Chain A
Amino acid sequence: NAGVMQNPRHLVRRRGQEARLRCSPMKGHSHVYWYRQLPEEGLKFMVYLQKENIIDESGMPKERFSAEFPKEGPSILRIQQVVRGDSAAYFCASSPLGDRLQETQYFGPGTRLLVL
């Protein structure tokens, strides 16, 4: 059973460009979480999605950031008009359908975004 897949692993963008980060959850998992890790900091929750639904986006910046988890295909975290402060590692985690509070979240390898 393949783990959580994320691509690209590294992404370099210039200020003002768009960044698209992809996450394929583990097989059989229907909950997807996105977290951001700034340098020298722990992970911060951004958004929680199920198929075709955003359940909790309380950690998402109000502007420029969006996320989706379509019926088919990976979850996408999209950052428009990137700024240098967006440089960070972005991690996706998935968990199986069930009691989401008890279930373990399994993390992907992350996408490291560098904004020049």
Chain B
Amino acid sequence: AQSVAQPEDQVNVAEGNPLTVKCTYSVSGNPYLFWYVQYPNRGLQFLLKYITGDNLVKGSYGFEAEFNKSQTSFHLKKPSALVSDSALYFCAVRDRGSGNTGKLIFGQGTTLQVKP
């Protein structure tokens, strides 16, 4: 069965320090990979996606993510965290199989807390 795992419910980091939010997946073949961020009582905002090509993807607000095929991971990173980055982060995958209609499979989310 297809699944996405975000092993940490919460990540705490001091402002100015680098941050990593982990994501691993279990999908047949090479999936498309996405990161979204959700602020309280808001919808999901798109951050970045991996489709093909360079394994390091750069996205909005200084975030980046690295696709690692051998480890089936797509960890989200930022060199220097801001307090305003505090939010709920979701990793999502989409199967490349021809039968897939485009639905996203989401992880359970990781709360990022950046402290001043």
**Minimum C-beta distance from A91 to chain B (A):** 6
Q: Is the CB of A107 within 8 A of B45?
A: yes
Using CB atoms, name the residue of chain A closest to B49.
A104
Q: Does A1 contact B (CB under 8 A)?
A: no
* A100-B102, A101-B94, A104-B34 given; A42·B46 CB < 8 A: no
A103 to B51, CA, bound (A): 9
In the complex, which residues of chain A have a beta carbon less than 8 angstroms from the beta carbon of B90?
A: 42-43
Chain A CB within 10 A, most for which of B32, B96, B106: B106
Check A95–B108 contact: CB distance below 8 A.
no
Total residue contacts A-B, CB cutoff 8 A: 65
Picked from B4, B44, B100, B103, the residue with its CB within 8 Å of the CB of A91 is: B44
We find that the number of chain A residues with CB closer than 8 angstroms to chain B is 30
> A58, A95, A108, A109: which contacts B102 (Cβ < 8 A)?
A95
For the complex formed, measure the closest distance between the CB of A92 and the CB atoms of chain B, giving whole angstroms.
9
Q: A91-B44, A102-B32 are in contact. Are A45 and B105 (CB under 8 A)?
A: yes
Chain A residue with minimal CB distance to B34? A104
Verify if A27 is at the interface (C-beta below 8 Å from B): no
A11 to B55 CA separation, bound complex (whole angstroms): 42
**0 or 1 for each of B77-92: is its CB under 8 Å from A? (1 = yes):** 0000000000000101
